Amino acid sequence: MSLGDLGDVVCSVTLEKFYPKNIEIKWSSGVGNYQELEHETKHFIDESDCTFKCESECRVPGNFFQDPGFRVRVMWTHQSLNHPQNQEVTVTDLPWFPLMEDIPVPLLVHGREAKLQCEIRGYFPNKLEVKWLRREAKKPELYDVSPSDKYKIPMMDTKQDFNKTYICSTSLIVSMSAITDQGVEFICRVTHPSLKTYLEKRTGELRVKG
């Protein structure tokens, strides 16, 4: 699989060592109800043993993979087979899942704002959900962080990387308090259709200078 210039996913299959040449290949996609897809198939001959090889390719709009139930199916039929063979691809089969960098912790001073930032790269499609969580000192429970007088959550800066995957930067701005924030931990948690569970990065327990 690869990413096309128009935001599409290029799916391909290679079949080898079959004879005779005639082989039927069908591509389809959907969520439950499959619709046939246009595709291109090229045939080659292996001169060493006079068998055949084919390479078949189709292009699927990348935004279709935002639905975890969406599937692409390729099916092939040949007289050497007792029944048709097929393969399916879902978003969890795509190789472009989020990679999170560590959260740098700046100098934390009582009464001043501090910016916690996490960079996330390498994902496709562009459907990333990010939330910030707070864990109180020495306690296991996590609490969602929402914009308030204490917290600012700027809009994520998202762009396309050189390899056509996406990269974004998410940040949390906290008005620090040596009284209420000593020893707390902030967590950046990410979900994406390509992931079976969430990813997260943690700041570790914070130390605030008074």
pLDDT in tens, 15-28: 999 999 999 999 99
Q: How many CB atoms lie within 10 A of CB 56?
A: 20
Say how far residue 37 (Cα) sits from the centre of its chain: 24
Task: Give residue-wise pLDDT tens across range 34-67.
Answer: 999 999 999 999 878 889 999 999 999 999 999 9
* Strand 85-89 versus strand 33-37 pairing type: unpaired
- Under DSSP, the state recorded for 69 is T
DSSP state of 23: -
pTM of the predicted protein model: 0.87
Task: Note the pLDDT tens digit of each residue in 115-162.
Answer: 999 999 999 999 999 999 999 999 999 999 999 999 999 999 999 999
Vertex 183 angle, CA 149 and 180, to 5°: 35
Query: Which of the 8 DSSP states describes residue 209?
Result: B
CATH top-level class for 2-93? Answer: mainly beta
User: Which part of the chain is CATH 2.60.40.10?
Assistant: 2-93, 99-202
| Domain spanning 99-202, CATH architecture | Sandwich (2.60)
Q: State the Cα–Cα distance between residues 83 and 81, nearest whole angstrom.
A: 5
Contact 188, 200 (CB under 8 A): yes
